Chains A and B, each alone.
Chain A
Amino acid sequence: LAKTTQPISMDSYEGQEVNITCSHNNIATNDYITWYQQFPSQGPRFIIQGYKTKVTNEVASLFIPADRKSSTLSLPRVSLSDTAVYYCLVGDRDSSYKLIFGSGTRLLVRP
């Protein structure tokens, strides 16, 4: 399984755009990149998934460069409620039922 590396923590202020970058140097051809969000005392929640280039949904955007060795989760205009831990996962879609979560990035949004 590809190993991912994320910053341990990030600070931001309300209304700012936050970009969290994940490194996955050993990503395989069949691997997808998935991001989950976890609030305190809750289970993780799926945010976004992509394979290459850019993916956007109502919550976030995911930027993946051509070499796919990293990816960036972009949260536009964060609010206090975006304070959470964000996990980057990389895995083959056909065997990705066993989600491998690292320590994630703890995002703190300040007023």
Chain B
Amino acid sequence: GAGVSQSPSNKVTEKGKDVELRCDPISGHTALYWYRQRLGQGLEFLIYFQGNSAPDKSGLPSDRFSAERTGESVSTLTIQRTQQEDSAVYLCASSSYLYTDTQYFGPGTRLTVL
């Protein structure tokens, strides 16, 4: 079956602009996660959704970052007034239930802020 998909695959934007990153999880997966990976580094947890609610937003770097999920499906990560330090690969993952460390990752969106 289809895996996790993300769009766009690459995004280049100017400093100060807003960007929206999209994630389509595996159908039927109730849990969805966003991570950030800077070049050559490990992953940073940003936020997770259980259904449409986001109980843990502790990883969001600043109030410029927000995320939503609708219909227990698609999720959007929005970064307002982008800064150069936001440049990274943003990865989305999903799992069939929340309390599992077996997550299925998408290919990521590479964001470059000029």
With A41-B107, A43-B91, A43-B108 as given contacts, are A98 and B45 in contact (CB-CB < 8 Å)?
Answer: yes
State the CA gap A43–B4 with chains docked (Å): 10
The interface residues of chain B lying within 8 Å CB-to-CB of A98 are 45, 48, 56, 59
B41 touches A99 (CB 8 A): no
Q: Contact at B100–A97, with CB atoms within 8 Å?
A: yes
* A101: contacting residue among B31, B42, B99, CB under 8 A: B42
> How many angstroms between the C-alpha atoms of A61 and B69 in the bound complex?
37
* Chain B, interface residues (CB within 8 Å), range: 20 to 34
Asked whether any CB of chain B lies closer than 8 Å to the CB of A102, the reply is: yes
Q: Are the C-beta atoms of B101 and A104 separated by less than 8 Å?
A: no
B53 sits at the interface (CB 8 A): no
Flag if B98 contacts A97 (CB, 8 Å): yes
B32 smallest CB distance to A (angstroms) = 10
Residue numbers in B under 8 Å from A101 (CB-CB): 35, 42-43
Asked whether A41 lies within 8 Å of B99 as measured between CB atoms, the reply is no
Contacts A93-B99, A95-B99: A100 and B107 contacting too (C-beta < 8 A)? no
* List of B residues within 8 angstroms of A102 by Cβ: 42
Q: Does A46 contact B (CB under 8 A)?
A: yes
Contact B100 A96, beta carbon cutoff 8 Å:
yes
Interface size in chain A (residues, C-beta < 8 A): 24
In angstroms, Cα B35 to Cα A104, docked, is: 16
A95 and B99 CA atoms in complex are apart in Å by: 6
Complex Cα spacing A44 to B104, Å:
8
B101 touches A94 (CB 8 A): no
Residues of A close to B41: CB separation below 8 A:
103
Chain B contacts for A100, CB-based, 8 A: 45
Contacts of A44 in B (CB 8 A): 43, 91, 105
- Shortest distance in angstroms between B56's beta carbon and chain A's nearest beta carbon? 7
CB distance from B52 to the nearest CB of A (A): 16
